[in-house]
Every structure is written in structure tokens, then in C-alpha cells.
Chain A
Amino acid sequence: MSIKVDNLFYTYMANSNQETPALKGVSLNIDNNSFVGILGATGSGKSTLIQTFNALLLPTCGTVTVDEFKVSSEKKKNKSIKELRKHLSLVFQFPEYQLFEETVEKDVAFGLKNFGYKNEDALKKAHEALLQVGLDESYFTRSPFDLSGGEKRRVAIAGIIAIDPDILVLDEPTAGLDPVGCQSIMKLVKNMFDNGKTIIVVTHDMEMVMEYCQKVFVVKEGQIIFEGSPNALFSVANEEDYAIEIPPLFLLADRLKKAGKNIDINKIHTSSDLIKELKEKRHG
């Protein structure tokens, strides 16, 4: 499934004395089965933008089109919102705060039941999702509140991926996790991408962006100011005011290239890519 955002405006507390515009004319396209990053400083409007994708916020003006679903300012026209939310799921920042059931499996099955699955089917799919996020049978009947932070987050994410959406939107999925937790979450997301899903992440973690994203959008003051590949962003980030930190790996590759090494920066996403590139060019 692809997303098309057309001239989107959103204003918080419209028609009051505290009205604050958050999005000012955003247009973008996200292709089917792509891995997209949305970047920008705090308060730039990224979170507002992703919340319009599954109609949690209705735009003040403009439209969001997700395949046959259309989200616009008129409430009456947005009939199939629930159907849309089945296909496009949003994982909020710190999703562990949305857990509430007595057991892990029940919590994961909760979303499925809301979307009309029978109890047994829901539990079966819940178990599959839990195994997918790396939580084995011993976790199924435990209380989600006894788990560690990282485990809680995996349960919450399992609750979303169990719904099996075509598009998965994650708001800072790795915030506040230890490095191992981060990696396991990102592996999981990558796995979903490899299975044909469209992934959209909002993040401040540039190393993650460099490693996984195919394309990034930079949001500033409610407008898209950059669109392109992560490495293209990093190579111009110094000159522009994008409020992002260039990852050390990119800086290293850039320095090496400037020092005369013959490497293709666009191919480098991880440190092993860089090593491979250096080795090849030495022998070649």
C-alpha cells in the first residue's frame, strides 16, 4: 500500500485564541514496500503528520490517500476509518503505556478482537506475533506489568504487528531502550519490511536511519524541507539547518573519500559495508 499526502494543513485548537498551526501544506508520496524515515526537531510536526495517516487527527485542509482510503477534513466522508486502521497501524512513542490486560497474550489479542477476530483465532495470531518479537511461551500467561521495559515494548509492538497491517508507522520505536533492545526491535521491523510491508519511522537516531531507511523526509515548522536518501541528506546537512546530527560512520566514510580513497558513499549503510567497500577497492 502506498500513501499520498496532498497539501495537508493541520491546526491545533483551531478557531480559538490559542490556535497553533502544526502542518502548513505538506505534500509527499510514500511507495509500497518502502522503508521511510521522517526526521525533524521536536515540535516540527512529525507526530502530527503521522497521526493524520490513520485518521487519528483529521486534517484542517488537504487530504491523505492510503490506497482506496481517503482522509479529509469532512467527518462524514471518512466512513471506513476502522478498516483503514486495520491496514495502517501506528505504534506510539513508549507504547508500553498502552498495556492493560491481565496477561501478555490477552493484551496482544485485544487489538485483533477489536478488528473482529474470534477469541481462539485472536489468541493463535497473538502467539505467532509474540514469537515473532522474540517472546516465547513462558511469557504468554504472565502479567505485562511484571516485565522489563524492553519486554513491555515488545509486547506492545506485538499487539500491533498481530493485526498484520500493510503499513506500519513507528514513532521513535527505540527511544529509551538499551542497545540490545534497540537492535532486536529494529531487526523485527526490518523483517517486516522484507516481508513486503511498508515501514515509516519517526526517529532522531541517525545511525538507524543510515542503516535502514531508503528515503527520508525532513520536517521543519510544519513543512517538508528535504526529501531524498539518507546519505544524500547527510552530505548536505552541514550547509543547511536541518537540526540533525550526522552519524560518525558517514563522517568517517566522507573523510576517507576526501582523503583520496575510492569509495561509493551511497552504498554505505553499516560499518561492514564500509569495510567491504574498502577491501574491494584495494584489491580491485
Chain B
Amino acid sequence: MASVVFGRFSPYNTFVHRLDPRNKIFMVILLMVMIFLRIGNWSTTYILCGVYLLFLIIIMLIAKISFLELFKSLKSMWFLVLFIFAIYVFLPATVEIKETGHVAFYINTYPIYWESFLQSGYIIFRLIMMIALMMLLTSTTTPMNLTYAFEWYMSPLKVIKFPTHEIAMTLSIALRFIPTLLDETERIQKAQASRGVDFNKGGLFKRFKAIVSLIIPLFISAIDRSEQLADAMEARGFDPKMKRTRYRILKFHLRDLISLLFVLILFAGVLTLFIFDKNGYPIDILNFFFNIKTKF
């Protein structure tokens, strides 16, 4: 089965699963922004990263998301991680690092800075956090609820006659068919394997042919399916221009308010620190709390 980067919905009923999807999207965006605010010197940045990571782990435990699943989706990223690392460490450092940085070692006479390592580590950390947050969102919210939430966010655009409902409908149909198409792919793959196709071996031409034998039937069945679906919708009186009522209505509960307040307070705190830091009051947690002076 093809590995999907952002996890499939995991059918539990935890606190995180029950949250309003609109609220969840908003909170995820806030947390993402928060992660991108770099505060203070390197030691402070890394301590805050540790705090974010702890926070994320706690939420993941509450939402019953398996860490194995996260690692699986990260596994496909290892090349990107290596690439980022190489670029940051071996390419000439920025002016800022050159002026204030500390040299770790020299390759011949080419200096490699400690700061480059720290920088690449920070970027990789942010990447992982982004993926983990996206996974948190997609594996605790059904695709249907996600599209409802998107539609709600787009609703102001209705004023300028933007077809929000049609777009949401298209999106939800597309999402609905992802698992179906995956199953279909698997089925056709097996059928072709019975005809002697080897999807993992052979030269370029053979592999190309193998892929063609998979893609064409897949397209045909997808087109067939969409025709059938359109007919079925029409038979039930679907009209894209009509105003519709809804079976599931999104509600903002007390738990949404509590979690939103919590995230907002966290965000506000981090934002305050950030503003202080950028306006001449450098934040140094190690120095402030423990009186330890570091060079990073």
C-alpha cells in the first residue's frame, strides 16, 4: 500500500477528535506560526523547541496517535533532511554567522561554523513539527469535517459570488475518492502482477510499461466512477445552485473554548517574548533562570 505522508484518519473518539474542526485548523495555524518565531540566542531557541516538542507529544498522547506512524511519514523525508543539513553546513555561512559565529573546525582553510549546525537543526526541527501538526489535524479530523471547516472559512467570499459550496463539494468528493482509488490501484496492481508485471524490477522501459499498465485502467475506472456518481447525484435531485441544509452541523463547544484559550495564551506569551526580543530586550533563558552564560 502506498504510504500517505499525512496520516489517514484514525477512528478514535478522544478529546482532540471531538474538537470543532474550524477551531482545530485555527489552532494548528497558530501553533505553526509560533514555531516559526525565533526568540533569543541559540540556547533559548532550543529550550523553547524542547517545550514545543513536549507539548506536541502530550497532545499526540491525548489523541492516541502512534509515534510509529509519524516516524513512517518522516522516513520518506530523510533525503530532504540530509539535503538541508548539507546545504547549511557546507555552503558559505551568512554574514551574520561570519561576524558573530564560532568556528567548529576547518576543512583545509574553509571554516565550518557551529551556528550552521544549529541553524540546520532548527530548520529540520521546524519541518518535523509542521508535519507532525498536519498529521495531528488530518488523523483526528474526518475529511468531511475538514471540508466543512474550509467551507466555513471561505464563507466571507460568498459576498463576491465566489462558489464556495461548489469548491467544498469538489474537495469533499476528491477526498472521498482517495481511499477508493488507493484500493483500486492495489487491485489493478495485483491483476497485472498475475499477468507477470514486476513493478520493482526491470529496465527503464519495462518499468514505464508497468506503470502504464497501472495508470490507464486507473484513469478509465476513475472516469467511469465519476460518470456514475454524477448520474447518482442527479437522480437524487442534486442542483449545485440550490441552497442546502446539512445533516452535520458544526458546533463550538466549551472544550473548544478552553483549548482555544489555552493555545491563544501560549501564542500570546511567545509573541510577547518575540516582540521584546526584537526590540532591544534580548531573551536568554539560561542566563535569566539559572545564571549560566553560554556563548551560543
Contacts and interface: CB of A to CB of B under 8 A. Distances in A.
Interface of A: 16-18, 51, 54, 56, 82, 85-86, 89-92, 95, 97-100, 110-111, 114-115, 145, 159-160, 163
Interface string B5-19: 000001100000000
Interface residues of B, number: 20
Contact of A56 (B11, B193, B213): B193
Contacts of B197: 114
B145 interface: no
A17 B66 contact: yes
Contacts of A51: 190
Contacts of A90: 190-191, 194
Given A17-B10, A82-B198, A145-B220, A97 B188 contact: yes
B229 to A, nearest CB: 17
Contacts, number: 58
Interface of B: 10-11, 66, 187-188, 190-198, 212-213, 216-217, 220-221
Given A85-B193, A114-B196, 7 more contacts: A56-B190, A82-B196, A85-B196, A89-B195, A92-B191, A99-B217, A100-B216
A51 B193 CA distance: 11
A222 B204 CA distance: 40
Given A97-B217, A114-B196, A114-B197, A92 B66 contact: no
A16 B188 CA distance: 25
Contacts of A54: 194
Given A51-B190, A97-B188, A98-B188, A111 B196 contact: yes
B66 A163 contact: no
Closest 4 CB pairs of A and B: A114-B196, A111-B195, A100-B216, A98-B191
Nearest to B184: A97
Contacts of B193: 56, 85
A202 to B, nearest CB: 14
Contacts of B196: 82, 85-86, 111, 114-115, 163
B63 to A, nearest CB: 12
A228 B213 CA distance: 39
B191 to A, nearest CB: 4
Nearest to B187: A92
A159 B66 contact: no
Contacts of B10: 17
